Structure 1
Amino acid sequence: MTSEPGFISRFVSARDGLKLHLRDYGPLEAPALPIICLPGFARTAADFHELALAFAQDDAKPRRVLALDYRGRGLSDYDRDWKNYDIRIELDDLMQVLVAMGVEQAVFVGTSRGGLLTMALAAARPAVIRGAVLNDVGPVIDARGLLRIRGYVGKLPMPRSFSEGAEILKRLSDQHFPVLSEAEWEVMARRTWTDRDGALRPDYDPQLMKVLEELDLETPLPVLWTYFDGLKAVPLLAIRGANSDLLAEKTLQDMAERHSDCEIYTAPGQGHAPLLGSNEMIRRIGKLIARAERRAA
């Protein structure tokens, strides 16, 4: 366990002994409903820093926020077998973390793969979910987005500085995120690469690319409405980036029609996946949490 500004780094053993890292924000014994943050495929807990601080340090109602690094990402151990970067194993990892951290119920905020994990958790342990945010992911996934992600995971250039990294990301994704400032691109760079032995390296195991390379994007991807239906008992916020190539507008509308307590929001000027640290995103997620707490009251 180590402490950094705003959070404590904790480590939990997975079932196979691999060490999983998570950021623990806010009061340990806060009575308010905790939040569990689950990042995208090649992303880390750092993506939720602003969101986590906002809720953990709220003057009126501080709450505990846990943000997870999946195996092979961030400060979690890398797996010697890349085939273990599998959503079924990551689901078991998540359940081990929940038990170790004493979390019985929470609101889950899942970006991309994190949203898929949230839907999978609803099938495996529905009682633990009191509310959910699905950030740019749904039961139907657009293969175009996966094709684009496959084009850069494990293949990014090695920048000499974070400012150079920001330029790389901007060239790669500016058409999807035209509203980001130079400062925001640099924050993204600092959350994409990490300093290892004096050189910047991606903050994930490069072997992750093999998981994507195995996908057959010429055949239709599985449709996950059955898993989505597992969230029907809890309030839901579904977010889509206006420029997303992974979650179609029609799928977002279908989610709202299928779920009686699903609010939808399209983030202007953002692609896959929208950043969650803005005041507007924090406000909307706060409303979702309030709905979850009222429903249980």
Structure 2
Amino acid sequence: MDSESGFRSLFVSARDGLRLHARDYGPLASPALPVICLPGFARTAADFHELALALSQGEAGPRRVLALDYRGRGRSGYDSYWANYDIRVELDDMMQFLAAAGIEEAVFVGTSRGGLLTMALAAARPAMIRGAVLNDVGPVIDARGLLRIRGYVGKLPSPRSYAEGAEILKRLSDQQFPLFGDAEWEMMARRTWTERDGHFVTDYDPNLMKVLEELDLETPLPVLWSYFAGLDGVPVLAIRGANSDLLSDETLREMGKRHPDCETFTAAGQGHAPLLGPKDMVRRIGKLVAKAEKRAA
């Protein structure tokens, strides 16, 4: 464990040999139910740092928390064939991680694409999921949000500093996150770009934009209620940013109605996707983890 960062790096080989990375927090062996954190489409494990530290060192005792970098993001290898940035391939990558880490069941915290992966896992390996947090994602996805994301993924300018990166993000997303101050924008900049050879580059493969360009947003997107129903046997916390353009308030309410044990929460002043590091969010997610643990026992 790196005492400064609070996590170890775990490297695993994907089925096709690509080197994948995850942040591994807390003890390797603990009786506590582990937590798996799955980021958004062009995001990385870094988004979960505050939450992972809090959950791995929480009042309930130490627990293992894994935060994944999908292929082509963060410290995972970039795929030479961009079409492999596909949810089915990423689901298989996740299973390789869980097998390598010796994790047979866990609580899954999925932001955006991570929530879709959680629902996909509920269909493929339901016994692995003991609880789920779906952060600003649900069975019905609003095409407006995808259009906005498609407008910037792989197309962001290269800043000369993190402060300049913060300004770029603020201009792009201040309507989504009107309550963010300089500290939040700088943190987001540090989690969007990384410094390589003296230049700031996005912390993901720019070819991810090709995946979004392939989407036909003129035709209705698939509706995933049957996948969401796969989570019926476990407690769920569904979070929506009040300014989200990806998950509607109507869908959030419907999730609460359809699921036998789904708490819904709207994060004021936040868009797609709400930060999970603030204390009130950590407390909510901690309660969901405790509920899942109690039920699993």
Q: Which moved more, 1:55-64 or 1:45-54?
A: 55-64
> TM-score when scaled to structure 1?
0.98
2:201 is matched with 201
Task: Please state whether the residue corresponding to 1:237 is helix, strand or coil.
Answer: strand
1:43 maps to 43
Question: What's 2:91 paired with?
Answer: 91
Q: Report deviation, 1:4.
A: 5.6
Cα displacement (A) at 1:55: 1.0
Structure-2 residue corresponding to 1:25: 25
1:34 is aligned with what amino acid? Answer: P
Comparing 57-66 and 86-95, the one that deviates more? 57-66
Residue 57 of structure 1 and its aligned partner are, at CA, apart by 1.6
- In the alignment, the residues of structure 1 paired with residue 4 and residue 89 of structure 2 have an alpha-carbon distance, to the nearest angstrom, of 29
Root-mean-square deviation (Å): 1.1
Unaligned runs of 5+ in 2: none
Gaps of 5+ in 1: none
TM-score normalised by the chain length of structure 2? 0.98
- Match of 1:143, as an amino acid? A
What is the correspondence of 1:206-285 to structure 2 with a 5 Å cutoff?
A: 206-285=206-285
Decide whether aligned partners of structure 1 residues 189 and 225 sit closer, same or farther in structure 2, where only a CA change above 3 A counts.
Answer: same
What is the identity, as a one-letter code, of the residue corresponding to 1:21?
H
2:160 aligns with 160
- Which aligned segments of 4 or more residues in structure 1 are displaced greater than 2 angstroms? 1-4
Q: Is the 8 A contact 1:72 1:85 kept in 2?
A: yes
- How far 1:3 sits from its partner (Å)? 7.8
**122-131 or 58-67: which moved more?**
58-67
Q: Distance in 2 between matches of 1:152 and 1:135?
A: 21
Instruction: Classify the secondary structure of the residue corresponding to 1:151.
Output: helix
Shift of 1:60: 4.0
Displacement after TM superposition at 1:295 (Å):
1.3
Equivalences, count? 297
1:5 CA drift (Å): 1.8
Deviation at 1:266, TM superposition (A): 0.1
Match of 1:173 in 2: 173
Residue 150 of structure 1 corresponds to which residue in structure 2? 150
Contact 1:131/1:234, CA 8 A, preserved across alignment? yes
CA distance in 1, matches of 2:270, 2:80: 35
Q: Give me the whole-angstrom Cα distance separating, in 1, the residues matched to 2:277 and 2:3.
A: 22
Shift of 1:2: 7.8
Equivalent position of 1:123 in the other structure: 123
Q: Tell me which residue corresponds to 1:108.
A: 108
